[in-house]
Structure 1
Amino acid sequence: MEHLAPGGGMVKGLMNDLFKYLKNDKDLVLIKSCVFHYEFEFIHPFTDGNGRIGRLWQTLILMQQYPVFEYLPIESLIKENQQEYYNKLSESDKAGQSTHFIEFMLSIILQSLEQVLQSQNINLSTKDRIFLFKEKIRDKKFSGKDYLQNFKNISAPTASRDLKWAVNQEILMKSGEQRKTEYQFKSFLSEK
């Protein structure tokens, strides 16, 4: 089934709504970038190049919070999985929601992160590591050891500095002392 884009008279309002969502919604940036990409493809504002522009926007959205996305080969991984990309767009259209597409794009983002981190010894910033770990651990409590095991290329003192930074920035809540210290991301606590 071929995608039927909204009528031309609806494009401006739909794009305005999409940019309002991007600016104001509290979803995680990883999710917002995928939703934006899907909705942009759905709205289809141009006669040609919507896919390339949608992927570019997704990368730009991600780069604002995670500078590492400047180096990720998302576009090439999508090209390698192009049929699945189109299938997921179609499945989401039929379902009337973007879940299938978001899950696909998150898997592509994970693959691209793994590729870059393996092929180039890119050092993530403290902020990159904290926010990537937040995406993984979500609302679960964790120890410094859990954090360190997730980033095998950093030292224990670096992990401690990362966690201390996140506590000082009020991103993490810390409880307990020394070996019994646990952390939890505050944004997930406020959602409950």
Structure 2
Amino acid sequence: MILSSMKPPYTITDKILALVASISEKIGEINASHLYKPATELRKKNRIKTIQSSLEIEGNTLTEEQITALLENKRIIAPQKDIVEVQNAIKVYQQLNQFNPYQLKDLVKAHAVLMSGLIDNPGKLRTTNVGIVKGSKVEHIAPGGTMINGLMKDLFDYLKKDNDLILIKSCVFHYEFEFIHPFTDGNGRMGRLWQTLILMQQYPVFEYLPIETLIKQKQTEYYNKLSESDKKGNSTPFVEFMLGIISESLNAHLQTQSVTLHTEDRISLFKEKIGKNKFTRKHYMQSFKNISAPTASRDLKWAVEQDLLHKFGTLRLTEYQFK
């Protein structure tokens, strides 16, 4: 828990250092192979998995198929509350890039979208006192309502100013956020969403990693680590757990992504990289080590036909430029 204007208590253990090293290595591998932005189809699948898992943790009953149908604006038969939760989550994830993870006002805005039509005061920090009940026992007494503003301000100060690695800070933020419990409802899904958003700033791959799916599979452990950290008065156990989850999700990403990218995916990745600069087929091939010259030619021919590229010169002197 945070005491005013101090760094939240946690220890950087050998386990945390080993996990951070392994995660950094995997992110390096992902960036080197251009896997940080998965193929369009997989992005959509991962997004659906993320929404389904995060809400199932909170008791939502919708399946991935039903969420897909909602994404395509089809009607489904399900409890109204569950449908609204999913529609709200779809909206928030579509707007993900518009939120600044370092601004409390953006967090409040995201909560307003996520909890719209589900609670009386979406997007408002709580001013009342709450206890979190699991079964018949009180699992966690959250800080009093009058302290919330100050605690959240301190938490954002830590996020903005502390020099620890973003991988560690994102986990600490997630724990402290759940501890403070700043809203009357929706804290679980908000904490998980915000950790993703923090990580995305430095590592774009996190936008499409279904970390929530792994948390869902280890839901009991997730809650146990939150409560173990509560008892210890520091977030170390939770940080170790979350870094483990991140590491596993990167493993899964590397395995599924070893499937080759398609023409369209390669062209769109290369466009991000090269911008408006002119380039040759050779430049293009340097970016995708595992494609042959005929494949590169086919890609570029396709992009010219799709009216994405200008083509200058002929044969060996051919150059290209994105429109």
What's the TM-score once normalised by structure 1's chain length?
Answer: 0.63
Asked if the contact 1:71–1:116 (Cα under 8 Å) also holds between the matched residues in 2, the reply is: no
Count of aligned positions:
127
Counterpart CA distance in 1 for 2:248 and 2:208 is: 13
Counterpart CA distance in 2 for 1:17 and 1:121 is: 42
Q: Displacement of 1:11 after TM fit?
A: 0.4
Counterpart CA distance in 1 for 2:213 and 2:187 is: 16
Matched, 1:109 2:246: yes
Q: How does 1:9-158 map to 2 (within 5 A)?
A: 9-121=146-258
The amino acid across from 1:82 in the alignment is: Q
> What's the CA shift string for 1:150-176, capped at 9, x where partnerless?
xxxx89xxxxxxxxxxxxxxxxxxxxx
Counterpart CA distance in 2 for 1:74 and 1:3 is: 25
Q: Displacement of 1:78 after TM fit?
A: 0.5
Among candidates 134, 141, 162, match of residue 4 of structure 1: 141
> What's the CA shift string for 1:30-70, capped at 9, x where partnerless?
00000000000000011211010000110000000000101
What's the TM-score once normalised by structure 2's chain length?
Answer: 0.38
Counterpart CA distance in 2 for 1:24 and 1:101 is: 21
Question: Between Structure 1 and Structure 2, which shows a larger proportion of helix residues?
Answer: 1
The answer for the alignment partner of 2:81 in structure 1 is none
> What's the CA shift string for 1:74-96, capped at 9, x where partnerless?
11110111000000000000000
List structure 1 segments (4+ residues) > 6 angstroms apart after TM superposition: none
The answer for the alignment partner of 1:135 in structure 2 is none
Q: Displacement of 1:6 after TM fit?
A: 0.1
The amino acid across from 1:18 in the alignment is: L
RMSD, matched Cα? 2.1
Q: How does 1:155-174 map to 2 (within 5 A)?
A: none
Bigger relative contact order (CA 8 A; separation at least 6): 2
3-state DSSP of counterpart to 1:2: strand
5+ residue gaps, structure 1, are 126-153, 156-192
